[in-house]
Amino acid sequence: MENILDIIDAIAHEKGLSPDSVKEALKIAFIQTAKRLINNEFAYDAEIDEETKSIRVYQTITVVEDDDERLEGEEAQAYIGLSRAIAEVDPDVETGDEFQIEHDIEKHGRTAVATLHREIEFHIQRLVENELYSKYKEKIGSLVSGRVTRVDGAQSTYIEMDEVRAVLPMKSRIKGEHFKVGDTVKAVVRRVHVDKSEGIQIELSRTSPKFLEELLRLEVPEIADEVVSVEKSARIPGERAKIALLSTHPQVDPVGATVGVKGVRINAVSEELLGENIDCIEYTSIPELFISRVMSPAIINSVVIEGSEEDEDRKAIVTLPSDQKSKAIGKSGINIRLASMLTGYNIELVEQDGVTSGEKAEDKKEDISSLEALFGE
């Protein structure tokens, strides 16, 4: 085929691919075409001549002994007897040597053209999908946006993003939200895979804690600049979330920077999450102090850790006044569930009775102050 380099450049430009990758895809297409037209069991190779801008297909021929039974079988065209090879190819040839003969695919007529066209389409499409797969594989957990093109019967939302279409399943949608065709939707890439029949499949999520983190990164410059980091996050989508924040700069308050003046930053994120309440907590590596902060708004007296960090069922015994228990648990258990998700501990509440309200608050201050003094926080 003449002018193959011009074809390669045209395909690469149209599909946004590298010329080298298109070259390899076309070579494979020509080899597969030869296999379909001649014999699928034979070995082939393809080479591009840079000077003539043409591509040539070669079949590998193996030299065998003159009495080798393969010379009489169905694959006889892949072998040549030693005597014949010496006479026709090279006087110094030996058994086991290989050489190549050229095949002109165009001599097979319209069948060759149709087969080659299908093979080129197939391999270029696979190449495009692989490029997209690599691109979006790196975007897992990253924020993307696109326009809704369809909502199916199962309430899965299909979103057009640049060169691909992604799906936001109903299970990955915040409870109570609905989209219609034309809406612009933000989400994070949850999963990317290639389906043999349907090609590249990209699944999005708006319920992942990573979605909350990426929205904060978009809204809070200190997080985008890595002055403040989101160490941990936990969500019950559409209801409530807790995020643990850490400042890398001594003069930056991580909670204040994230909340913003009069709550403007955190409210903007909450609005995108359908009014989800977001608790901002300053992170510490001291589990007792971290748990005491995470249990807010409940006022607790003490935290005792049972088990090591390696234990899957590690437990935190939280002692608190009786009138703080409902706050610690939260509506439908939401506060304690989020606290457990964020800290990684199974939290057990133990009530402490016989203490007045004033004493409870004072005990709380003393206990937390003691922890901070002990650990330098």
Supply the pLDDT for residue 364.
46
Q: What is the pLDDT of residues 272-329, one digit of tens each?
A: 999 999 999 999 999 999 999 999 999 999 999 987 777 777 899 999 999 999 999 9
| 3-state class (DSSP) for residue 321 | strand
CB 263 within 8 A of CB 255: no
Contact yes or no for 294/343 (Cβ under 8 A): yes
Chain centre to alpha carbon of residue 214: 14
Distance, CA of 190 to CA of 209 (rounded, Å):
11
Tokens 């980091």, residue located: 229
pLDDT averaged over the chain? Answer: 87
Q: What pTM, to 2 d.p., does this model score?
A: 0.74
**pLDDT (tens digit, 9 = 90+) per residue, 10-22?**
888 888 888 899 9
pLDDT of residue 94: 86
Tokens 């004033």 -> residue: 358
Q: Which architecture, in CATH terms, is 208-283?
A: 2-Layer Sandwich (3.30)
Torsion sign, CA atoms 138, 139, 140, 141? positive
What pLDDT, on the 0 to 100 scale, is given for residue 356? 36
Range 286-377: architecture per CATH: 2-Layer Sandwich (3.30)
Q: Is the pLDDT of residue 1 over 60?
A: no
186 vs 159: CA distance, rounded Å: 10
Q: Which CATH number is 4-135 given?
A: 3.30.1480.10
pLDDT tens digit string along 122-148? 999 888 888 888 889 999 999 999 999
Distance of CA 288 to the CA centre of its chain: 34
Residue appearing with tokens 């290639």:
194
Tell me the β-bridge partners of 280: 243
- Could you tell me which of 300, 311, 308 has the C-alpha nearest to residue 348? 300
Is 365's pLDDT higher than 60?
A: no
What are the residue ranges of CATH 3.30.300.20 in the chain? 208-283, 286-377
The reply to whether CATH 3.40.50.2300 applies to domain 151-205 is no
Range(s) of the chain covered by CATH 3.30.1480.10: 4-135
pLDDT for 360 beyond 80: no
Give the separation between CA 337 and CA 332, rounded to whole angstroms.
9
CB neighbour class for 272 (10 Å; exposed up to 12, middle 13-18, buried from 19)? middle
Name the segment(s) of the chain with CATH classification 2.40.50.140.
Answer: 151-205
Bond into 297 cis (ω within 30): yes
- With H, G, I as helix, E, B as strand and everything else as coil, classify residue 361: helix
112 DSSP assignment: H
> Who has greater pLDDT, 37 or 311?
37
Give the Cα separation of 345 and 295 in Å (integer): 12
Question: Residue 222 has what pLDDT?
Answer: 96
